[in-house]
Structures are given as C-alpha cells and as structure tokens.
Structure 1
Amino acid sequence: MGALMSVDPDPYPDWLRPPVGGYTADDLDRLPDLPPHTELIDGSLVFVSPQMRFHMRVMRALEYALITAVPPGWEVLREMSVKIDTRNRPEPDLMVVNEEGNTGQRQTYSLAADVLLAVEVVSDESQVRDREVKPRKYAAAGIRYFWRVENVDGRPVVYTYELDPATDRYTPTGIFHDRLKVEHPFPVEVELV
C-alpha cells in the first residue's frame, strides 16, 4: 500500500489574512516571509511590482547626486521604510535622514521626524500612492521636502515640493526636465537622463 501524502490544508501564509483593525508598523518586522519592499499604508500591506529599467536608472542618478551633495550629519537611504505612525510605514525610493536617528546595522526603518527629504519615482502600478497618498502622509508627518519623478516620454521629470508649515501641505517649488538644480534642502545638481 502506498504512503499517505500529507497535504497542507492552508498553503498560504497567515499574513494574507490581516488582523481585525489591520497591521501595525511594527508588524512588518515580525511577519515571516513577506515579499521584499512590502509597505504598510493605513494598516494594509502593499506589495510592490518589480522595478523597471527607467526606475532603477533614475534612482541611481539621484542617489549618487544626493550622496555627493548631502551635508555632514545626514545620510541617503535607498528603499528603506519610514515609520509615520502605528498604521503607516511606506518605503520611499530614496530619503535623506538625520544620522542621529541611526540605531545601528539592524535598523529596518527611519522615524518620520528624522527624514528631511523623501523621493518617489512613479511607476504605473504606484501612480495613486506616489502622487496622492504618500505625499499627503509625508506632509502630515512633517517631512519638509518631497520630490516626485515622472516618466514623460521616456525621460525623467522631477517635481520638487516644500512643506508649508501653515497648512501642513506641500507647495510646488519647481519642475525640472533636463537638469535638476536646487538649493534646498541643500545644493544638488544632476543631469536627468
């Protein structure tokens, strides 16, 4: 007689069924086998699609420009989440953070209070999050600067914003097509290719 085969009655991970009230920011560090770059928006897990070449190239150029321009006491982080509150832990493509918020090599997120600049490179699947949801949350959390990068006919266009403390909303400060050149939050210049 053949051996009985064991069949897993539930082949899906437990985290596919969210708890009542949703997940918390701290849950992202405890849930086993989450896909890379999982974000938490309003208590819900958000899974990102694979990056496209445009996205990767723009991130690389901006990351290098920021690293070479960032003043002492600040650090550029790539694809690391920011803890906004207990129900929100989005992952900007790039961010500039205060080094005082560095808690060591095992740190998995930065606190919003330590973030000076958040950068989002918009992709097809993230348009609403990157254009509406995340900027609103970053502004409400007090992140002073925000850059959004769009793919316009295969070329990057960077939209820069600064937080208006009177309204807690971002105000546009520039649109850059061929070259990004800003003085705030610190001088940065990079050719957009």
Structure 2
Amino acid sequence: MTMAAEAVITTMTPHLSLPDWVFPPPEGFVAEDLDHIPDLPAHTELIDGSLVFVSPQRHFHQSVIFRLHAALDKLAPAGHEVIQEMSVKLGPQQRPEPDLIVVGPQAVIGSEISFFEAEDVVLAVEVVSPDSAVRDRERKPVLYAQAGIPHYWRIEEIHGKPAVFVYEIDPATNSYVAAGVHHDRLKLSVPFDVDIDLDTLYVLRSR
C-alpha cells in the first residue's frame, strides 16, 4: 500500500479498524510472522517478505489437487507423506504454500506443526490458476530450487485437461531443468515410481 493510499484510509475512514498486516513493516514480514498475525486470511503465503493472498479457486484446481493427492497417497513409499496446502519455510522471508508436497521420513509430523522445512520436502506441486500463473511459472520454481527441493511439478489446464510439467534440480547450478511434459499419462521413476492416468484427475460431468 502506498503512502497516499494510507493517507486516504487515515483521513477518510478514521472509524475503520484495520488489521496491522495492512501496514507491513519497512523490512517486510518474516516466515514466523505467519503464525502470529491475527485474523490473517487462510492460506496466506509469504514471498520475498510480502504477504500473498489466495483468490477463490476454480473447480479444475480443486479437482486436480484432490485426485492427485489420493493417487500419490497410494504411490508414495513407506515413511513418506502427501500433504495438502501447508506452507514450507524456504528462507527468512520465504514461506510459500504449495498445493501439494511430499515429505520424507525425516519430516516431523504432528498436530502442532504449522509448516515444514525445505529439507523435509522431496516434491512440490503447484496447480496453476489465473492469479498464480506468474508465481507458479517463474518465482516459486526459483525459490524451491534454491532451497534444495529436488522435484517440482507444475500442472496446467490445456484444452480442458491437466498437463504436468516436470522439473528436477541440477545440483551443479541449484536450479531446475525440464524433465518432460506429460499430457495423458504421468509415468516416472523419481522421486519414486509414479504411474497416473491424467484423465482421471479432472472429469467433467455431462449435463
């Protein structure tokens, strides 16, 4: 929010009680702030010290997440767990919330856990929405790779069907390299054996 906008709120609506997070600190928020800011909207992310709020999601987004979660639950090795919409601390001012993550046996699981560390995550998945396209295609892959998350999948709706863009980390550059685009079937051997009919992830009922 600009100083001009802040002045308008202050002078025109003095009776309005605004939450503190409307006015971020000059240095930006830190990852731990997400656990302590009162009345913060659900699924708020922290990227580069700024709060990012989630818009209402389309049916495609929710359907793909739900069905992919179920499919990965059946495929993940013992000791791994598929987690939906929980944030990952990537750095002091980076705490995004992937749509899905798979965490390894070293991850601490419990009712008191509100986020995971980057080293817990073996796979991060984002299902692209119109409002998240730039973040999911550009900024988040950079952050996930820099934090050492070895695998990243980006899922897009193409011609009414899900397409999975698969990335693996290059340890020499600490950045992702493209490992294929999958339209009908997702068949992989890393981070574990995966074989998913992508047509089952999004099914429109005929009227």
**Structural RMSD (CA):** 1.3
5+ residue gaps, structure 2: 1-12, 200-207
Name the CA distance, whole Å, in 2 between partners of 1:185 and 1:104: 24
The TM-score with structure 2 as length reference comes to 0.87
Corresponding residue number in structure 2 for 1:119: 125
Q: 1:128 aligns with which of 134, 137, 151?
A: 134
Corresponding residue number in structure 2 for 1:84: 90
Give secondary structure in 1 for the equivalent of 2:123: strand
Query: Is the counterpart of residue 142 in structure 1 residue 148 in structure 2?
Result: yes
* Residues 48-87 of structure 1 mapped to structure 2, 5 A cutoff: 48-87=54-93
Corresponding residue number in structure 1 for 2:165: 159
Corresponding residue number in structure 2 for 1:105: 111
The TM-score with structure 1 as length reference comes to 0.93
Q: Deviations over 1:94-124 (max 9, x none)?
A: 0001242215212110000110000000000
Q: Deviations over 1:137-189 (max 9, x none)?
A: 00000000000001112110001110000111111111110111111000111
Q: Structure 1 residues 99, 33: CA separation in 2 closer, same or farther (over 3 Å shift)?
A: farther
What is the deviation of 1:8?
6.9
Q: Deviations over 1:7-29 (max 9, x none)?
A: 97342211110012000000000
Count of residues in correspondence between the two structures: 187
5+ residue gaps, structure 1: 1-6
Name the CA distance, whole Å, in 1 between partners of 2:155 and 2:147: 21
Corresponding residue number in structure 1 for 2:195: 189
Q: Structure 1 residues 30, 132: CA separation in 2 closer, same or farther (over 3 Å shift)?
A: same
What is the deviation of 1:47?
0.1
Name the CA distance, whole Å, in 1 between partners of 2:35 and 2:154: 27
Kindly provide the amino acid, as one letter, of the partner of residue 57 in structure 1: S
Kindly provide the amino acid, as one letter, of the partner of residue 108 in structure 2: N
What is the deviation of 1:40?
0.0
Give secondary structure in 2 for the equivalent of 1:101: coil
Q: 1:20 aligns with which of 15, 18, 26?
A: 26
Name the CA distance, whole Å, in 1 between partners of 2:73 and 2:182: 19
Q: Which moved more, 1:15-24 or 1:100-109?
A: 100-109
